[in-house]
Structure 1
Amino acid sequence: MTNQGKAALVIVDLQNDFCPPDGALAVPGGRDIAPAINKLLDLPFALNIATRDFHPRDHVSFASQHTEKQPFTSSHTITNPENPQETQETILWPDHCVQDTSGCELISELDTSELGLVVDKGQDKRVESYSAFGPPFRSPRVSMSQLADTLRHAGITHVFVCGLAWDFCVKATAIDAAKEGFTTFAIHDASRGIDRSAKGPAATREEMEKHGVRVIGLESKEFDMVRGP
């Protein structure tokens, strides 16, 4: 690693339930990014991290937990358990990534031997957590992961984010990494999104860039800092 800083790779939710052909919440093309991510794992990042949705069976984001609600089309307002004035609106999903099921596991195509850490998120049934850093509630924070502290303890200055889904958990994780003060890059061609409309990917990119995240590709010169001289 160069004197420019230390970089971490964060691979978001490359899990069976998010991948075809049998995933409960499969992202189109989700399994196809594994070879590109394995090549990233060959680079000398200071720390390689994978994240997983790791939900209890009665998680608030599941449509099955709400009367007369349907996955994908229904939404729900989640309240900060410690501050009713702070709320989050979320889409309701099919049951997915339930703890101790095969759908929760990282896909077999991912080279897990290169991982230094797996961060499980979404474990609190009361709140949604697209970001690997924790739910969006801040007044006060609830059910936050230790990811930010782990990165700082390792001396990480730069965070590269990829995985599933580009327009939800990749986006939220990258934005939170930037908010935590890390120089953050989101790798668009090592990610796949749910929204494949003409405007969807552009809107996701715009939102990330608004928060200081730089969107890059696999051939970007930004990887030079990882490779070193």
Structure 2
Amino acid sequence: PARQNGAEVVPIINHLLETIVFDYIVYSYDWHPVNHISFVDNLRNRTRYIKGGYNASIQVYDTVTYTGPKYETEQVLWPAHCIQNTDDAKLHLDLIVNTDKNNIIHIRKGTDPDIDSYSAFADNIKVQKTVLDTELKKRNVTHVIVAGLALDFCVGATALDAMDLNYKTFVVEDASR
């Protein structure tokens, strides 16, 4: 939905996974309920919460400000994507997914229908945190390398949060879109 060709980064990420020994690998997933706030198709169900009122010209990739039901937040509107328990929410089929349970962390984000989560650490307004920071600190992780989709949203937000949490943070631009 972020208008990138995600398949382009898979071979690059796979190369990193095959050539670098990482202590831990985190796979983050958008894992949205069907009624998620970010889906443009759900806009009509949330008209009373749109700051300035509903406008029929609002479309995909526009930004609106919601004043409820639980939070006030700016939201980019996306096509429906990564709906929980669908194939669309799975990692790319060609991506190497390490199955060693001792060094893998899976993070599902965007699970609350009323707030989006670009970062693998927390939602967009920092009301709800994922377990990622706790899990990394428990494992004494000090450096975080981020790659994937989308550089200007999820990768960027994850990297910024990692820096805010005092991790030495690196973004692999070639492995991000």
Return the TM-score normalized by structure 2. Answer: 0.84
Check whether the contact 1:75–1:90 (CA below 8 A) recurs between aligned residues: yes
Aligned with residue 105 of structure 2, among 95, 117, 120: 117
SS of the residue aligned with 2:134?
helix
C-alpha distance in structure 2 between counterparts of 1:70 and 1:150, whole Å: 38
In structure 2, do the counterparts of structure 1 residues 80 and 151 end up closer, same or farther at CA, with 3 Å as the change threshold? farther
Check whether the contact 2:4–2:150 (CA below 8 A) recurs between aligned residues: no
Partner of 2:7: 31
In structure 2, do the counterparts of structure 1 residues 171 and 147 end up closer, same or farther at CA, with 3 Å as the change threshold? same
Partner of 1:204: none
Aligned with residue 95 of structure 1, among 77, 80, 88: 80
Query: Deviation of residue 143 (structure 1)?
Result: 2.4
Kindly report the root-mean-square deviation, in angstroms, between the aligned alpha carbons of the 2 structures: 1.8
In structure 2, do the counterparts of structure 1 residues 188 and 114 end up closer, same or farther at CA, with 3 Å as the change threshold? farther
Structure 1: runs of 5 or more not aligned = 1-24, 193-229
Structure 2: runs of 5 or more not aligned = 45-55
Check whether the contact 1:80–1:137 (CA below 8 A) recurs between aligned residues: no
Check whether the contact 2:144–2:167 (CA below 8 A) recurs between aligned residues: yes
C-alpha distance in structure 1 between counterparts of 2:64 and 2:2, whole Å: 21
Return the TM-score normalized by structure 1. Answer: 0.66
Partner of 2:17: 41
In structure 2, do the counterparts of structure 1 residues 179 and 98 end up closer, same or farther at CA, with 3 Å as the change threshold? same
Query: Deviation of residue 80 (structure 1)?
Result: 7.6
In structure 2, do the counterparts of structure 1 residues 55 and 190 end up closer, same or farther at CA, with 3 Å as the change threshold? same
What's the CA shift string for 1:104-162, capped at 9, x where partnerless?
11011101125712110000001011111111324xxx221010011100110000001
Q: Is residue 41 of structure 2 the alignment partner of residue 52 of structure 1?
A: no
Query: Deviation of residue 40 (structure 1)?
Result: 1.4
C-alpha distance in structure 2 between counterparts of 1:190 and 1:59, whole Å: 28
C-alpha distance in structure 1 between counterparts of 2:161 and 2:35, whole Å: 26
Query: Deviation of residue 26 (structure 1)?
Result: 6.0
SS of the residue aligned with 1:56?
coil
Over 4 Å off, 4+ runs? 79-82
Aligned with residue 174 of structure 2, among 189, 200, 207: 189
SS of the residue aligned with 1:185?
strand
Aligned residues: 161
